[in-house]
Structure 1
Amino acid sequence: MTFEQMRAVSLGLRPLSRLDSPREVVRQFTPNWFAVTMGTGVLSIALAQVGRSVPVLHGLAEGLWLFNTGLFVLFTGLYAGRWIFFFDGARRIFGHSVVSMFFGCIPMGLATIINGFLIFGLPRFGSAAVEIAHALWWLDAAMATLCGIAIPYMMFTRQSHSVDQMTGVWLLPMVAAEVVAVSGALLAPHLTDPQSQFTILTVSYILWALSVPLAMSVLVVLVLRLAVHKLPHASMAASSWLALGPIGTGALGLMTLGAASPAILAANGLERFAGTVEGLGFVGGLLLWGYGLWWLAIATLVTLRYLREGLPFNLGWWGYTFPIGVYALATLKLGTILPVPAIHVFGVALVVLLAAVWTIVAARTLRGAWLGELFAAPCLKAEHGSPQGDTIRTAAF
């Protein structure tokens, strides 16, 4: 760096970029960045849940949703630009055993925006918000289904995997469908046509089934991997929390779908099943929530161990936010069903934790993006002969 460049940086006139040119932002852009929209979106929803009677908190939540929507549009443009201008490099992601998993972040990030249209957009835009959410939901359902099938197929046929290198990142493409299922449960009651409500409800249950059983099977293998091969590299520390994501979302999905089902089933002549479906939603949600307590405890202990040994920052830190967020939402939802005040208090505490973690990670991400440190596509490094282990450690987690 020249003296003039150092002087400009010290004056705050330009970033200390590690990129050769601004075009590198597009060339190096990967779906990992959509984890930012997942974490920001779930925080906006969680704040809205605990701040219903607090105008300032609800306003903050709505502001975060608008900001997150802008981020999603920006990231979509950048990633589309990579495919348009750097097609050969962009297509290498399909053969990368880690970065390809992050395709699941795209439909999950969009799901938080769809939920925001129902929470924040409905009071401001009326029925137009529901129409937008409805159209986006079908697009999101298609993307989540494609991701949940295509990425595992590539894992089976063209990618190189080993149990000792396995982490919770495997879950990302598989859990997208259940996240969209939760959005479907929120959307269906807002539709005016009973048949449309029933269609969304049915497809949401199918999406839940496409995701949760598969995620549970992956968690079995993950427990074995951790017992035999111990903890992954510190750069993948946040992946310890990813297991909480499908558990929390699965619980939230069952309870939300169960709550929406009675009225929709009754409107379609299926009221005889209403009580059963609602009861299964409560019992299933409670069981999954209890299972999540174990993973919450394990992830906390693992993180404390990593902190003692040193925890390098990377985009993977966003992996702390979404799992905490969906488990907090599941806890708050359970608190509205069970007359146990401690559950609601626990849910609020998790939201406070989420807000604190988000603030730290967002600040570090903003600094890293400004300096150009976070724009690196491991699939491009792999083409120059980086070992498998190195590309895993330089991935978003």
Structure 2
Amino acid sequence: MLTAPRLAHLTPNWFAVVMGTGIIAVATSSLPVNLPGRRGIALTFWLLAVTLLAVLVTAFAVHWIRHTEHAREYARSSTMFPFYGALPMAVLTVGAGTAAVGSTVIPAGLAFGIAGTLWALGTIGGLATSAVMAGRLRAVADRGTAVPAWLMPVVPPMVSAATGAALVTHLPEGGPRVAMLAGCYALFTLALVFALFIVALLAAEFRDGGLPPLQALPTMWIPLGIVGQSIAAANNLGTAAGHAVGHDTANVLHLFGLGYGLLMGTVMIVVLAAVGVLTARAFRSGLTFTMSWWSFIFPVGACAVGMGAFGVAGDFEIPRLLSAGLLCALVLAWCVVAVHTAHRVRTRALPAPA
């Protein structure tokens, strides 16, 4: 049981548990390949993600109220602050699951109302974490060494863009749909430009200083999150454009999504292969469980969702099959990481000081 004293070191990276759980519900529900039991799997993981989000939000509130000094210390920490991006992404992921899965078990109007509210909250939170991260990066002398976790507060607007596309058709025709579509493309652009800047910093750091330490190596998977989410956003928005703008404009946006998906899908495959090799070597070198293992989960789910969206938008078979393969790997990885996490919570090894 997580009592108040144990919550002293409940850090924001715990919300990656919600992200990783919720993305399975989203990926399964949107999977463009028929798999037996997919509806039950999606529903189970959505309900679990909702429960985890409720528990963690409550626990995090207790953490801030009862352990304010620890909470402020973590928020000021250059190492831990980036993981505050996990909170809005957890909210956005549960919102997306509510739209995709919840609408099949509760009234659709209620489901999309909840999804829209969570989308708004997650988007505001994501813009806030991006703004704070931008401010910290401007202070060159104090920003520290570039690490993959720096992408965490930057990815939320891209998740907003990817998940907001599903809400476009549930808005009144005309101005509201156009505004939502334009806003999502603005979020897409903001996140992509900011992420590319950080990736450039990471590339320079890896060139000069080498890869992260062994126990932090799972964070090398984090960049795949924005790759997958950006593919999903470009193609989901391209599809949604057909319900919001004129035929010619919608066709251009649709073609942009396909071109972007082809380019970034190629990048995704190369990066997946590279980090897969690095991770295999890390396990052979003695990589042991830490909460950084959750860095494996959401990025793979994002890639599965992205490939699924690309496959549907272009009616391509290979991306659809790749989406199914990634989803199978995702569920297996989630089971391994979740069992390790639950065991350490039960034995009181977690939460632990960061």
Determine if the TM-score, normalized by the shorter chain, exceeds 0.5. yes
Query: Deviations along 1:194-251, whole A, 9 cap, x unmatched?
Result: 3322222111111111111111121122122222222211110111111111111111
Within a 5 Å distance, the mapping from 1:327-346 to structure 2 comes to 327-346=303-322
Q: Does 1:140 align with 2:116?
A: no
Residue of structure 2 in register with 1:104 after alignment: 85
Letter paired with 2:253? V
1: CA distance between counterparts of 2:251 and 2:30? 26
What amino acid does structure 1 have at the position aligned with 2:267? Answer: Y
Aligned length: 353
Amino acid at match of 1:131: G
Larger Rg: 1
The alpha-carbon deviation at position 136 of structure 1 amounts to: 1.9
1:276 maps onto 2:252 in alignment: yes
Runs (5+) with no aligned partner, structure 1: 1-14, 16-20, 379-397
1:141–1:180 CA contact under 8 A, matched in 2: yes
Q: Aligned residue for 2:135?
A: 153
Partner of 2:210: 230
The one-letter amino acid of 1:358's match is W
Q: Is the 8 A contact 1:41 1:113 kept in 2?
A: yes
After TM superposition, give the deviation of residue 352 of structure 1 in Å: 0.8
1:190/1:297 Cα in 2 relative to 1: closer, same or farther (>3 Å)? same
1:71-110, aligned counterparts within 5 Å?
Answer: 71-110=52-91
Q: Please give the secondary structure, in 2, of the residue aligned with 1:173.
A: coil
Q: Is residue 114–residue 137 contact of structure 1 (8 Å, CA) maintained in 2?
A: yes
Letter in 2 for 1:168: P
Distance 2:216 2:328 in 1: 24
Equivalent of 1:118 in 99, 105, 117:
99
In the alignment, residue 71 of structure 2 is paired with which amino acid?
A
Who is 2:44 aligned against? 63
Equivalent residue for 2:292, pick from 305, 316, 322: 316
Cα RMSD over matched residues? 2.0
Gap change, CA 1:369 and 1:309, over 3 Å in 2:
same
Asked if structure 2 preserves the Cα contact closer than 8 Å seen for 1:258 and 1:281, the reply is yes
Q: TM-score, normalised by structure 2?
A: 0.94
Aligned-pair distance for 1:374? Answer: 2.1
| 8 Å Cα contact 1:130/1:191 also seen in 2 | no
**Residue in structure 1 matched with residue 9 of structure 2 by the alignment:** 28
Q: Secondary structure of 1:191's match?
A: coil
> In the alignment, is the contact (CA less than 8 A) between 1:39 and 1:318 conserved in 2?
yes
- CA distance in 1 between partners of 2:278 and 2:52 (Å): 31
Alpha-carbon offset, residue 365 of structure 1: 0.5
Rounded to whole Å, the distance in 1 between the matches of 2:84 and 2:259 is 32
The code of the aligned residue for 1:322 comes to F
Cα distance in 2 for partners of 1:159, 1:313 equals 33
Paired residue for 1:394? none
Aligned counterpart, 1:365: 341
Structure 2 match to 1:195: 175
1:96/1:159 contact within 8 Å kept = no
Larger deviation, residues 298-307 vs 194-203: 194-203
Residues 53, 308 of structure 1: CA spacing in aligned structure 2 closer, same or farther, 3 A cutoff?
A: closer
Partner deviation per Cα, 1:109-158 (whole Å, 9 max, x = no partner): 11111111211122332211111112221111111101111133134449
- Give the AA of the match of 2:189: A
Distance in 2 between the 1:154 and 1:334 partners? 35
* Aligned-partner Cα distance in 2 for 1:318–1:215: 20
Secondary structure in 2 matching 1:50: coil
- Give, in whole Å, the separation in 2 of the partners of 1:301 and 1:224: 21
TM-score by length of 1: 0.84
Letter in 2 for 1:204: C
Q: Which residue of 1 aligns with 2:197?
A: 217
What CA distance in whole angstroms lies between the structure 2 residues aligned with 1:78 and 1:158? 34
Supply the AA of the counterpart residue of 1:207.
L
Quote how far apart the aligned CAs of 1:302 are: 0.8
Inter-CA distance 135–343: structure 2 relative to 1 (3 Å threshold)? closer
Q: Is the 8 A contact 1:335 1:344 kept in 2?
A: yes
Over residues 94-114 of structure 1, what are the superposed CA-to-partner deviations in whole Å (9 max), with x where a residue is unaligned? 321111001100111111111
Residues 97 and 155 in structure 1, CA contact (< 8 A), matched pair in contact too:
no
Contact persistence 2:10–2:351 (CA under 8 A): yes
Contact 1:248 1:327 in 2 (8 A): yes
Rounded to whole Å, the distance in 2 between the matches of 1:37 and 1:294 is 27
For 1:126 and 1:340, locate their aligned partners in 2 and report how far apart those are by CA, in whole Å.
Answer: 30
Give the match's secondary structure for 2:37: helix
Q: Structure 2: give runs of 5+ residues left out of the alignment.
A: none
Q: Is the 8 A contact 1:178 1:253 kept in 2?
A: yes
Instruction: After TM superposition, give the deviation of residue 193 of structure 1 in Å.
Output: 4.3
